[in-house]
Chain A
Amino acid sequence: MADYTNVLEHDRLKEKLEEQEYIINMGPQHPSTHGVLRLVLSLKGEIVKSIQPHCGYIHRGIEKMCEKLTYQQIIHLTDRLDYLSAHMNNEAVCLCVEKALDVEVPERVKYIRTILDELNRLASHELWWCSFGMDLGALTVFFYGLRDREKILDIFEESTGGRLLQSYNCPGGLMNDVHPDFQKKVKEFISYFRKKLPEYDELLSGNVILMERTKGIGLLSLEDAISFGVTGPSGRASGFACDVRKHYPYSAYNKVDFREVIYTEGDTFHRYKARIDEMWESMKIIEQLIDNIPDGDYSAKMKPVIRLPEGEYYQRVESSRGEFGVYIISDGNKTPYRIKFRSPNFSNLSALNIIAKDFKIADLIAIGGSLDLVIPDIDR
């Protein structure tokens, strides 16, 4: 096992450490990394000179495990990747399997999947918002954000049985129909949340201290964003128009009208604003769909044992953090030959070195918070 004295050799800091440069370990346990991520920072005074992330602390070998599981069982494991967008991960695998089998799901399923997607996105951005405030020192916003998120989780629990990890999708449709109160509760929540979001804008976004700490910090240019594959709100804040919902629509996204939130400045403040704006867009999408859910089955007829025809299939969805992709190679059996998850946080993390170079440690916290990393997604 590597010990601290070998850090230099391990990390192969190419440039010899200059005068007054020293190494600090932001360990796997740290209140701000939001997961088990180890960052070895090389600092000069307060300025960050290079960052080496060490991943793998929560590597569970999901891809290898999936090679022995059937497609219905894989759904349950995908929840645990980026657990804050669990529903979208499930949907990706289901859509991939449905595409491979050429199954057409009922309209009702598409609408409900999209509504749950957007609710999940709201819950995820809400949690991001409150932990971002907490990282920067505004501890009260943590409680306000969680209070509202509880309402969304209650809606989930009623219909799907799970608050955070739902496993509600299955190839062909949904596991069960939604609760009869679903429509009413969602409408109540939207009207409640529409009043709350401006309050949060005033409390945190308009605050001078926050603006000073995030404007101009952590710049990511457009070429770098595309080259590093930074997608999601982090990439869109740099000008990379990568919203999968707009450019490669799936489920009911081609029936709704919403704006793709793009800013060009690429700093922490605009990554922050991109997410807040996305919350408004999510509410708009839900409002357009919630009254028009068509009646019908909640699932198409599927065989109990699913075998995908031989071949390769790729499906992409827009999770709260970026483009989540599922690549399945099948050899005709009931388990996949190889399954690969294209994780958005993996690519977002790879850009951290470039984004945070030559900024201070305190800025690193703000930058890490604005990239919104969820570590189990990186490590799979």
Chain B
Amino acid sequence: MAFSIYDFTSFTQSVDKALYSSLPPFWALIIEMTIIGLAFLLFYALVGLILVYAERKVCAFMQNRLGPNRVGPYGIFQTIADFIKLLMKELIYIKNADKFLFNLAPFIVIIASFMAIAAIPFAKGLHAIDFNIGIFYVIAVSSLGVVGVLLAGWSSNNKYSLIGAMRSGAQIVSYELSVGLSLLTIIVLAGSMQLSVIVEAQRYGWFIFTGHIPAIIAFIIYMIAATAETNRGPFDLAEAESELTAGFHTEYSGIKFAFFFLAEYMNMFIVASIAATVFLGGWMPLHLGPLFGSMGAHFNNVMDYIPPFVWYIGKTAFLIFVMMWFKWTFPRLRIDQLLTLEWKYLLPINLVNILIMAFIVLMGWHF
């Protein structure tokens, strides 16, 4: 099997051929789906572990202290210890809660984030599905998460949870608009919704550079809206500890709480990776455009040495760091200020931005 770190299509195709040639097509399909499912589950769990540890360390260094440093060298096994603890905790059953919905809610949140990961390209040829409506699918599926949040708040039979869930629901639904519109701006530039085409189109420079002004505005709006989407950073009123206990997941304990917790970090990963794919080129290394001539071509060759997978992880990690930076620096916004920001400021700016981008594409004034 040809395995190239720079191009996974040959690898996936050879595995595919091997399976289909040795098994009846139905079973080959099932086996393939199982392998992909397991790989993603593993990836999901691993990324969750790493992100929780990263958050604690980043937060600690910003606060002038060390963070976890006892469990394992530099505390790297801390998250595993935490999850074992969460697994062993007693699952508290609420008396008058709606049992079915109460148990269903964390799963909906996890499933929504899981489905969204499937469409994102990690490296050339390494993604589960390659729709021609890629971005549309990702946005649609990640909005399913709000259903889980509302169910959690409602079924807990607790005023605090209900208030937290309502706030959270209003927030997520509002910021969906900004997320969608800012991604739309880039789709206008790229000309396609298929994620692999978008990444390929950034061969001569990332969209944030080639699309100059409207792309930068769209990027800033996207980062703000995405932070609000995931209930993080200055927009985490719904789960603010100092306000109404823990918001919609107050009544959850043990493994169910772990699901919400994990889903929050995975959502952060997903929005960061969408931003990295759409604005910063995904797995495409930093290339200089034809403007730079032969010096540009040499530069591109050097950049190509670094495997695309590393580029992708690097960009996503940088954006995740920025999101963590936001959270630990700014105070929280109040719910009405949050919604005012979206409806009165971000939305009009976004709409005007799309027009500008469309005009620029029509006139050919991009790089």
- Complex A–B touching at CB under 8 A: yes
Residues of chain A at the chain B interface (Cβ within 8 Å): 22, 24, 31-32, 46, 133-140, 142-144, 147, 203-204, 207, 209-210, 212-213, 360-363, 365
User: Which B residue's beta carbon lies closest to that of A137?
Assistant: B332
Q: Which residue in B237, B242, B333 is a CB contact (below 8 Å) of A212?
A: B333
Question: Given the complex of chains A and B, what is the CA–CA distance between A163 and B236 in angstroms?
Answer: 35
Complex contacts, A134 vs chain B, CB 8 Å: 242
Subset of 24 A-B contacts with CB under 8 Å? A31-B242, A32-B243, A46-B335, A134-B242, A135-B242, A136-B331, A137-B234, A137-B331, A137-B332, A138-B332, A139-B63, A142-B63, A143-B63, A143-B65, A144-B63, A203-B329, A209-B330, A212-B337, A213-B331, A213-B332, A360-B334, A361-B243, A362-B332, A362-B334
Complex contacts, B331 vs chain A, CB 8 Å: 133, 136-138, 204, 207, 209-210, 213
B129 within 8 A of A: no
Q: Which residue in B63, B240, B335, B337 is a CB contact (below 8 Å) of A137?
A: B240
B330 x A137 contact (CB < 8 A): yes
Question: Given the complex of chains A and B, what is the CA–CA distance between A209 and B332 in angstroms?
Answer: 7
Question: Given the complex of chains A and B, what is the CA–CA distance between A212 and B337 in angstroms?
Answer: 8
B159 within 8 A of A: yes
B62 within 8 A of A: yes
B332 x A136 contact (CB < 8 A): yes
A17–chain B nearest beta-carbon distance, Å: 15
B328 x A139 contact (CB < 8 A): yes
Question: Given the complex of chains A and B, what is the CA–CA distance between A139 and B160 in angstroms?
Answer: 22
A143 x B64 contact (CB < 8 A): yes
Question: Given the complex of chains A and B, what is the CA–CA distance between A240 and B332 in angstroms?
Answer: 31
Q: Which residue in B59, B236, B244, B328 is a CB contact (below 8 Å) of A361?
A: B244
Question: Given the complex of chains A and B, what is the CA–CA distance between A135 and B241 in angstroms?
Answer: 9
Known: A140-B328, A207-B330, A362-B334. 8 other contacts (CB 8 A): A32-B242, A140-B59, A142-B63, A143-B64, A209-B234, A212-B333, A213-B333, A360-B335
Complex contacts, A32 vs chain B, CB 8 Å: 242-243
B329 x A363 contact (CB < 8 A): no
Question: Given the complex of chains A and B, what is the CA–CA distance between A360 and B337 in angstroms?
Answer: 12
Question: Given the complex of chains A and B, what is the CA–CA distance between A135 and B242 in angstroms?
Answer: 6
Question: Given the complex of chains A and B, what is the CA–CA distance between A361 and B330 in angstroms?
Answer: 20
B336 within 8 A of A: yes
| B interface residues, tally (CB under 8 Å) | 26
Interface residues of B in 330-359 (CB under 8 A from A): 330-337
B177–chain A nearest beta-carbon distance, Å: 22
Complex contacts, B336 vs chain A, CB 8 Å: 46, 360
B184–chain A nearest beta-carbon distance, Å: 28
Residues of chain B at the chain A interface (Cβ within 8 Å): 59, 62-65, 159-160, 163, 234, 236-237, 240-244, 328-337
A286–chain B nearest beta-carbon distance, Å: 25
- List the 3 shortest-distance A-B pairs measured between CB atoms, nearest first: A137-B332, A136-B331, A143-B63
A345–chain B nearest beta-carbon distance, Å: 20
B197–chain A nearest beta-carbon distance, Å: 39
A131–chain B nearest beta-carbon distance, Å: 9
A213 x B330 contact (CB < 8 A): no
Question: Given the complex of chains A and B, what is the CA–CA distance between A135 and B236 in angstroms?
Answer: 13
Q: DSSP class of A's interface residues: helix, strand, loop or mixed? A: helix
Question: Given the complex of chains A and B, what is the CA–CA distance between A147 and B62 in angstroms?
Answer: 13
Complex contacts, B59 vs chain A, CB 8 Å: 139-140
B271–chain A nearest beta-carbon distance, Å: 20
Tell which of B59, B240, B331 has the most Cβ of chain A within 10 Å: B331
The answer to whether A213 and B234 touch (CB under 8 A), given A135-B242, A140-B329, is no
Question: Given the complex of chains A and B, what is the CA–CA distance between A46 and B238 in angstroms?
Answer: 13
User: Which B residue's beta carbon lies closest to that of A27?
Assistant: B245
Complex contacts, A46 vs chain B, CB 8 Å: 163, 335-336
Question: Given the complex of chains A and B, what is the CA–CA distance between A31 and B244 in angstroms?
Answer: 9
User: Which B residue's beta carbon lies closest to that of A136?
Assistant: B331
B42–chain A nearest beta-carbon distance, Å: 32
B330 x A138 contact (CB < 8 A): yes
Complex contacts, B236 vs chain A, CB 8 Å: 137
Complex contacts, A203 vs chain B, CB 8 Å: 329
A343–chain B nearest beta-carbon distance, Å: 25
A365 x B63 contact (CB < 8 A): no
Question: Given the complex of chains A and B, what is the CA–CA distance between A361 and B163 in angstroms?
Answer: 11
B64 x A138 contact (CB < 8 A): no
Question: Given the complex of chains A and B, what is the CA–CA distance between A137 and B338 in angstroms?
Answer: 14
Complex contacts, B337 vs chain A, CB 8 Å: 209, 212-213
A362 x B328 contact (CB < 8 A): no
A213 x B63 contact (CB < 8 A): no
Question: Given the complex of chains A and B, what is the CA–CA distance between A45 and B334 in angstroms?
Answer: 14
B168–chain A nearest beta-carbon distance, Å: 14
Question: Given the complex of chains A and B, what is the CA–CA distance between A31 and B239 in angstroms?
Answer: 13
User: Which A residue's beta carbon lies closest to that of B64?
Assistant: A143
Question: Given the complex of chains A and B, what is the CA–CA distance between A130 and B367 in angstroms?
Answer: 48
Question: Given the complex of chains A and B, what is the CA–CA distance between A139 and B240 in angstroms?
Answer: 11
Q: Which residue in A22, A31, A144, A363 is a CB contact (below 8 Å) of B334?
A: A363
B242 x A22 contact (CB < 8 A): no
Question: Given the complex of chains A and B, what is the CA–CA distance between A210 and B63 in angstroms?
Answer: 19
Question: Given the complex of chains A and B, what is the CA–CA distance between A22 and B329 in angstroms?
Answer: 35
User: Which A residue's beta carbon lies closest to that of B327?
Assistant: A139
Question: Given the complex of chains A and B, what is the CA–CA distance between A121 and B343 in angstroms?
Answer: 44
B156–chain A nearest beta-carbon distance, Å: 15
Q: Which residue in A138, A143, A147 is a CB contact (below 8 Å) of B329?
A: A138
Complex contacts, A142 vs chain B, CB 8 Å: 63
Complex contacts, B65 vs chain A, CB 8 Å: 143
Question: Given the complex of chains A and B, what is the CA–CA distance between A137 and B335 in angstroms?
Answer: 13
A31 x B241 contact (CB < 8 A): yes
B63 x A140 contact (CB < 8 A): yes
User: Which B residue's beta carbon lies closest to that of A363?
Assistant: B334
Question: Given the complex of chains A and B, what is the CA–CA distance between A203 and B329 in angstroms?
Answer: 8
Complex contacts, A361 vs chain B, CB 8 Å: 163, 243-244
Question: Given the complex of chains A and B, what is the CA–CA distance between A156 and B39 in angstroms?
Answer: 59
Question: Given the complex of chains A and B, what is the CA–CA distance between A6 and B216 in angstroms?
Answer: 58
Complex contacts, A207 vs chain B, CB 8 Å: 330-331
Complex contacts, B329 vs chain A, CB 8 Å: 138, 140, 203
A142–chain B nearest beta-carbon distance, Å: 8
Complex contacts, A31 vs chain B, CB 8 Å: 241-242
Question: Given the complex of chains A and B, what is the CA–CA distance between A209 and B333 in angstroms?
Answer: 6
A380–chain B nearest beta-carbon distance, Å: 26
